[in-house]
Amino acid sequence: MKTNTFKARLKDRQQIGLWVSLGNAASAEILARSGADWLLIDMEHSPNEVSTVLEQLRAVAEDCEVIVRPPEASQTVTKRLLDIGTKSIMFPMIDTAEQARQAVSWTRYPPKGVRGISGVVRATGYGRDAASYLASEEEHICVIVQAETPTALANLEEIAEVEGVDAIFIGPGDLAASMGFTGQGASVPEVAEAIRDALNRISAKSCGAGVLGYGATAATKFFDQGADFVAAGADTWLLAQQSSSLIEQLQAALERQKTS
């Protein structure tokens, strides 16, 4: 099984990532060739299904590592994602160590977990590499859990100590909403401080610390605060920002021509 470079580098160097939300292979392929260290294919807030995730995994191929976020913490969806070759999974809305422990168990074969076995899926090379995959999958699978509520932040140390949890990712949007600041994200001082404190506490436990921060300024700030990996943009966000900026610049140029 090919080394999961995202997992291998978690505590060795900081990694820049991009979110893939449009649900198509072309978008994933374009972002994969940007030079990003990793992509996250989102199923929670996008039109993705397991079949479209598979198309995107194939499109990205060797260009960069991929994390997949399922629509919810689900044993069945986790099994299907792993079977199609997903190596890193980000479980949303994990509030307790017990929930984290359960998520890890879905990624492990018995006796360490409850993952069902199929030797003829994409992850095993359709049977050609089944023996080596079954023997080493735990080494290469990366488990990331999302902390998105005050309850999760209160339990950070316990979650970080769960065997098999490789990283904790802070979700600023849901965290802000759960703190009473819906739609304001990390722009609120209380939320920004909660994220800074969380990154420090996660790092102190030798667990990978990640966060979402769109734009170079926000991403750099989070890296400076100790984040090991940051999602610095998304296909939807980049397309919206750049297309609007281009049109606004051209409209302004045309207005200047009229008055000159």
The DSSP code sequence of 149-179 is: SHHHHHTHHHHHTSTT--EEEE-HHHHHHHT
CA of residue 102 relative to chain centroid, distance? 19
CA 252 to CA 172: how far, in whole Å?
34
CA of residue 256 relative to chain centroid, distance? 44
Active-site annotation holds for 140: no
The DSSP code sequence of 125-144 is: TTTTTHHHHHHHHHHH-EEE
Q: Which one-letter amino acid corresponds to residue 188?
A: V
The active-site residue, picked from 9, 11, 24, 45, is: 45
The catalytic site residues sit at 45
